[in-house]
Amino acid sequence: MILRTELRRSAAPVIGVGVLLFTVGMLYGMSGPWWKGTAPWHEQWTGLAQWVRYLGVFLWPLLLGAGAWHGLRDRRAGVRELLSSTPRSAWRRVLPTAGALAIGLAGAFVVVLVVGGVQVALTASYFHVKWVPVAAVGLLAYLGAVLLGAGLGRLVPSLLTPPVLAVGGVAVQISLIQSGWPEWLTPTIEAPEITVFTTVSVPVTLVQALWFAAIAATGFGLLAANQARLRLAALLPVVLGLAITVPVLSQQDSHVADRDAVAMVCDEQDGRVCVTRAHEAELARFAGPAREALALLAKLPDAPTSVEELADERPRDGVVAVSLFGDGVRGSEALDDPADIRLSVLAGAGTPLCVDGSEETYRWAVTTRMAMARTVAAAWFTGELAPLPYYREMPTTEGAAVQRVWRTFRALPETAQRARVAELRDAALDCDPAVDLLDILVAP
Amino acid sequence: MRWLTLYVRSRQVPGTVAAALTCVVALGLLATGSGSMMMRHQLVLFAVATVAAVAATGLAGADPALDRTAAVCWPIRRTVHVATIGVLAIGALVAFQWVDQPLVATELLIRNGIGLTGVAALGATLLGGGLAWCLPMAWTTVAMTTALAAPEPGAALLTWPVQPPGTAAATVAAAVLGVSGTAVYAMFGPSLNRTAD
């Protein structure tokens, strides 16, 4: 009964609708990274759970402020003294309020997950439940933020508390990003970490759940406490949580490989073509062009015999590993056109882009030379120079340079061409950043 | 003078200004220590929103209905109050950048200062003084999240707070919001919901 009243009269409906509108509005309103990459929010369960949390980066500070607004309610209505004189214990009075806030937030979360989940269920070939705890931790974190805000609002009943808390939340979020403290103290997940091949590790999810539950407990305690001693006791969960969380989280890798997602699903008829289990639905589209490219690669001495989607490891012998969603440096859209798939397999004579994550590999000059070498190597198989997928918008100066390289390379005798492409393939597979692939092709 | 003193006290201006400036310094120092250009930008622009949001709590007194019965010309006083918040928002950040180091073009500070103050005034008119902060803060949150997701966010009319200088649509949006927010607040005053105390 009280719960029903609280559901209508507290900040719960506004907070719930706000979170829902913000999240769905963001997801549909702009073409952010959640539509691209290997785990789009509407195609993969992993992506659905993690992109929703990604969007919380500046939302939870706002929830902190909204909670504080709620915590000011008794003071606003001028009933603090009245309520403190009632025999009903404070925590029993606060419980329905906290319940209403939880229901409001959970409702918003469930609607978002259903909107995404229906679309995912229609397209995803890879079903799993590992995403559920990841999403649940996000919900728990939002609830923790609202309750902590409410508790602090009651502790410092000033009109300034809500906006100042919201600002403080943003400051905390950004200092965590900058200071190297475990970013996992906040619910957000960074964009580059969201791939379908990885999953948030179980220990991290557990510790996060503990931490956000501790925050929620402190918030609840502060909301219910009416003596200084109890307020002090209410801080205990957060202090304990911090003492456990920080040392544990600093030693944990947040994302670990999802073995089920990267398992290969293969089409074995003449020339083996495989994609990861997560992208099983792409196999039919991918197999034909990949096989054509594999036939062209037979010009090589010691030619590869199968094509696999590149997941998280370097390729094995005799296997061409191809990334279907961007090449690791540029692009994150899925390869659609058969010609693009062919070119991606042939790029660099059937080698993936060598990215070691260092600054060096992302330098414009380095990536450009690498892209030129990979383009010319692919052109040697097809017979005509064509820009690789994701490199169509190269400036014309680079276009002219690659034409020059292509002409120089074509002027070489046929056997030398073959030897140099083979050498390029070996070097690219070794992935030694000191070796310049373009020199291998055209150096005298 | 006596009226002004009483007004300033009744709207809790000293505490509000102190809180706003503390937030500006905290966010500004965070921006100075940041290695990422984008983060610096976002922090400074967020600081403008902070001043507008925090100061907007003073746009309503303890009893808006009682205020209205006063035989004073409210529209002028309200306009001056909102304009002062705008000047504070812009001035605080300009001063910080002048003392510390320039991080963001002054043009952006002025644009966002005007726009977000207007939004805050709109918030006070619609929701009352206690909730006025929601509008500028929520708007900035949306814009900042957009800027984080895409280096060049589209829909400039919506994401104007994070658009680069010289974006016509963003300037127009900020100007329209600034003027209309101030005008609406000047005409109607804070909401009669007793959100302040």
Q: How close does chain A come to B65, measured CA to CA in Å?
A: 16
Give the domain-ending residue among A195, A227, A259. Answer: A259
pLDDT tens-place string over residues B68-96? 888 888 999 999 999 999 999 999 999 98
pLDDT of B195 > 60? The answer is: no
Which phi-psi region, left, alpha or beta, contains residue A317 (left: φ > 0; alpha: ψ -120 to 50)? beta
pLDDT of A265 > 90? The answer is: no
pLDDT tens-place string over residues A339-394? 888 888 888 888 888 776 565 556 677 778 888 888 888 888 888 888 888 777 76
Contact check, Cβ <8 Å, B154/A30 = yes
pLDDT of A316 > 80? The answer is: no
Q: Report yes or no on A264 lying in a domain.
A: no
Among the residues of A258-332, which ranges form H helices? 259-262, 283-297
Contact check, Cβ <8 Å, A174/B30 = yes
pLDDT of residue A433: 72
A335 and A430 fall within a common domain: yes
Mean pLDDT, chain A, whole residue set = 85
Confidence at B166, pLDDT banded by 50, 70, 90: confident
CB A433 within 8 A of CB A356: yes
pLDDT of B196 > 60? The answer is: no
| % pLDDT > 70, chain A | 94
CB A244 within 8 A of CB A278: no
Burial class (CB in 10 A: 0-12, 13-18, 19+), A216: buried
If you measure CA to CA, which chain A residue comes closest to B145?
Answer: A58
A318 and A354 fall within a common domain: yes
Instruction: Answer with the residue of higher pLDDT: B48 or B67.
Output: B48
CB B193 within 8 A of CB B128: yes
pLDDT tens-place string over residues A287-300? 888 888 888 888 88
Question: In angstroms, how far is CA A304 from the centroid of its own chain?
Answer: 32
Q: Report yes or no on A296 lying in a domain.
A: yes
Q: Report yes or no on A236 lying in a domain.
A: yes
Q: Report yes or no on A268 lying in a domain.
A: no
A366 and A394 fall within a common domain: yes
Report which of A204, A2, A19 is spatially closest to residue A93, judged by C-alpha positions.
A2
If you measure CA to CA, which chain A residue comes closest to B47?
Answer: A167
Q: How close does chain B come to A141, measured CA to CA in Å?
A: 18
CB A417 within 8 A of CB A380: yes
Confidence at B135, pLDDT banded by 50, 70, 90: very high
pLDDT of B197 > 70? The answer is: no
Question: Contacts of residue B138 in chain A, CB cutoff 8 Å?
Answer: 18, 22, 62
A177 and A248 fall within a common domain: yes
Interface residues of A toward B, Cβ cutoff 8 Å, are 18, 22, 25-26, 29-34, 55, 57-59, 61-62, 65-66, 69, 72, 75-76, 78, 158-160, 162-164, 166-167, 170-171, 174-175, 177-178, 191
Which phi-psi region, left, alpha or beta, contains residue A390 (left: φ > 0; alpha: ψ -120 to 50)? left
A203 and A301 fall within a common domain: no
Q: How close does chain B come to A128, measured CA to CA in Å?
A: 27
Taking the C-alpha atoms of residue A11 and residue A223, their distance in angstroms, rounded to an integer, is 14
Interface residues of B toward A, Cβ cutoff 8 Å, are 12, 15-16, 19, 23, 26-27, 30, 33-36, 39, 42-43, 46, 50, 53-54, 57, 129-131, 133-134, 137-138, 141-142, 144-146, 148-150, 153-155, 194-197
- Strand-strand pairing, A264-267 and A272-276: antiparallel
Report which of A198, A158, A204 is spatially closest to residue A183, judged by C-alpha positions.
A204
Q: Show the tokens assigned to B9.
A: 């006290």
The domain of A325 spans 273-442
For residue A215, the cross-strand partners are none
A183 and A277 fall within a common domain: no
Segments of A212-365 assigned E as strands: 255-257, 264-267, 272-276, 306-309, 319-322
> Looking at this predicted complex, what is its ipTM?
0.93
Report which of A98, A76, A19, A18 is spatially closest to residue B57, judged by C-alpha positions.
A76
Give the domain-ending residue among A197, A224, A259. Answer: A259
pTM (2 d.p.) = 0.88
CB B135 within 8 A of CB B123: yes
A33 and A134 fall within a common domain: yes
Secondary structure in 3-state letters for A368-399? HHHHHHHHHHHHHHHCCCCCCCCCCCCCHHHH
Q: Mutate which of A174, A188, A332 to disrupt the B interface (most B C-beta within 10 Å)?
A: A174
- Strand-strand pairing, A272-276 and A306-309: parallel
Q: Report yes or no on A313 lying in a domain.
A: yes
The total of structural domains in chain A comes to 2
Q: How close does chain A come to B107, measured CA to CA in Å?
A: 23
Average of per-residue pLDDT across A131-153: 94
Taking the C-alpha atoms of residue A332 and residue A348, their distance in angstroms, rounded to an integer, is 19
pLDDT of A24 > 90? The answer is: yes
A228 and A280 fall within a common domain: no
Give the domain-ending residue among A224, A259, A294. Answer: A259
CB A436 within 8 A of CB A356: no
- Strand-strand pairing, A255-257 and A198-200: antiparallel
A157 and A209 fall within a common domain: yes
If you measure CA to CA, which chain A residue comes closest to B61?
Answer: A159
Taking the C-alpha atoms of residue A345 and residue A79, their distance in angstroms, rounded to an integer, is 71
Contact check, Cβ <8 Å, A174/B23 = no
Q: Report yes or no on A130 lying in a domain.
A: yes
Instruction: Answer with the residue of higher pLDDT: A132 or A412.
Output: A132
A344 and A218 fall within a common domain: no
A117 and A204 fall within a common domain: yes
Q: Report yes or no on A265 lying in a domain.
A: no
A300 and A206 fall within a common domain: no
In this complex, the residue of B33, B137, B150 whose CB is nearest that of residue A62 is B137
Q: How close does chain B come to A412, measured CA to CA in Å?
A: 43
Q: Report yes or no on A267 lying in a domain.
A: no
